[in-house]
């Protein structure tokens, strides 16, 4: 059953059972906070002392909990928990041709180093996306993997936004006050399209990233050589938002995947990803070298895939 509870000081807590009711509540209370695992909002309230008045817990909304394997990829409801996603991805990689699941494998690897089991059991995909933390471990991967976000507004209209264009600033996303994230679509990778995850933290287990990344390259065989037809290189931990290395992408397209492209791309990356000396988070030299060394690793890994 849907629940509606009131607390001290006018606090309201709703647990709707349909997306229609979620949207009605959102229209009535534009500042209402959607909740799934509460692993971000709980921290904001307890540690940062931020107050919210109205909560909409969307854990029981079927439309937000869908997990569909489709012809062209996977549709993941915004309230799907990370453990559920991980389980589905593990199943999918055993059932689909290997070339289709390069991004799935990257997500599986990244989720291994994402928080602990307890957090992953309750934390949602949409909660991670919409928080837009600059060190989200998944957002650079959604961006690199050509994921699309489906967004619904209070009138029930649905639009689609590319993950690459969704993050606008520090914890700021392309969502209007009357919109919520409905689902995330992860397309299959194509033949000779490779996606890889990266994360460097102080500890391997249950730690936040210093720098992380998602990288993708799509290659075409031309004679004896492999030429880049498309690429995306996205980083976390280098700016107030998850960031695409646009100049590096442009540099890579049309180039042969060899030592020269490696040298060239590292040079472009140095000017593409700039971390100011006084950037929050410190460790500027270390972070700069991580951005380069991730690409170096990616270059070698891709070479290994096409050998």
Using rule CB under 6 A, residue 237 touches ligand FAD? no
Contact 237, 209 (CB under 8 A): yes
Distances (CA, A) of 1 to 7, 18, 122: 19, 11, 20
Give 199's contacts (C-beta < 8 A, 6+ positions apart).
Answer: 110, 113, 137, 209, 211, 212, 213
**Mask 166-195, x = binds ligand FAD (CB under 6 A)?**
--------------xx--------------
Nearer to ligand FAD, 130 or 238 (CB): 130
Nearer to ligand FAD, 60 or 256 (CB): 60
Give the containing element (helix H, strand E) for 307.
Answer: none
Stretch that binds ligand FAD, among 28-36, 65-73, 98-106, 258-266 (CB under 6 A): 28-36
Give the containing element (helix H, strand E) for 217.
Answer: strand 209-222
Phi-psi region at 225: left, alpha or beta (left = phi > 0; alpha = psi -120 to 50): beta
Cα(70)–Cα(74) distance, integer angstroms: 6
Stretch that binds ligand FAD, among 1-9, 98-106, 135-143, 187-195 (CB under 6 A): 135-143
Shortest-Cβ-distance residue relative to ligand FAD? 127
**Mask 101-120, x = binds ligand FAD (CB under 6 A)?**
-------------xx---x-
Nearer to ligand FAD, 83 or 229 (CB): 83
* CA nearest to 301, candidates 215, 230, 191, 201: 215
Q: How far is the CB of 291 from ligand FAD (least distance, A)?
A: 18
Q: Which of residues 198-227 bind ligand FAD (CB under 6 A)?
A: 208
**Which of 76, 78, 217, 233 touches ligand FAD by CB under 6 A?**
78
Q: How far is the CB of 10 from ligand FAD (least distance, A)?
A: 19
Using rule CB under 6 A, residue 131 touches ligand FAD? yes
Query: Crossing angle of helices 284-306/259-272, nearest 10°?
Result: 150
Strands 54-57 and 12-15: parallel
Strands 54-57 and 33-35: parallel
Q: Where does this chain bind ligand FAD (CB under 6 A)?
A: 33-41, 43, 78, 114-115, 119, 123-124, 126-128, 130-131, 136-138, 180-181, 208
């Amino acid at each position: 059953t849907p629940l509606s509870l009131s607390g001290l000081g006018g606090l309201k807590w709703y647990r709707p059972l349909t997306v229609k009711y979620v949207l009605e509540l959102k229209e009535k209370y534009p500042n209402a906070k959607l909740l799934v695992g509460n692993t971000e909002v709980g921290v904001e309230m307890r540690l940062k002392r931020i107050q919210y008045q109205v909560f909409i817990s969307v854990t029981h909304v079927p439309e937000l909990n869908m997990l569909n394997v489709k012809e062209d990829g996977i549709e993941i409801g915004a309230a799907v928990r990370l453990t559920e996603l991980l389980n589905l991805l593990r199943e999918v990689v055993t059932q689909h041709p290997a070339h289709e699941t390069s991004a799935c494998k990257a997500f599986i690897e990244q989720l291994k180093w994402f928080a602990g089991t307890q957090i992953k059991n309750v934390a949602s995909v949409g909660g991670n996306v919409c928080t837009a933390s600059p060190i989200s471990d998944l957002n650079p991967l959604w961006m690199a993997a050509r994921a699309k976000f489906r967004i619904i507004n209070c009138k029930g209209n649905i639009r689609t936004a590319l993950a690459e264009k969704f993050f606008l600033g520090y914890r700021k996303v392309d969502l209007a006050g009357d919109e919520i994230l409905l689902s995330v679509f992860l397309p299959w990778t194509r033949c000779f399209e490779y996606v890889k995850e990266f994360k460097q933290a102080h500890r391997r287990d249950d730690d936040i990233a210093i720098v992380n990344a998602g990288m993708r390259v799509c290659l075409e065989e031309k004679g004896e050589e492999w030429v880049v037809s498309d690429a995306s290189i996205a980083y976390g931990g280098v700016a107030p938002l998850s960031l695409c290395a646009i100049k590096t992408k442009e540099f890579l397209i049309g180039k042969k995947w060899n030592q020269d492209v490696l040298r060239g791309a590292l040079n472009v990356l140095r000017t593409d990803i700039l971390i100011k000396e006084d950037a929050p988070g410190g460790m500027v030299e270390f972070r700069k070298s991580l951005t380069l060394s991730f690409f170096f690793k990616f270059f070698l890994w891709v070479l290994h895939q096409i050998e």
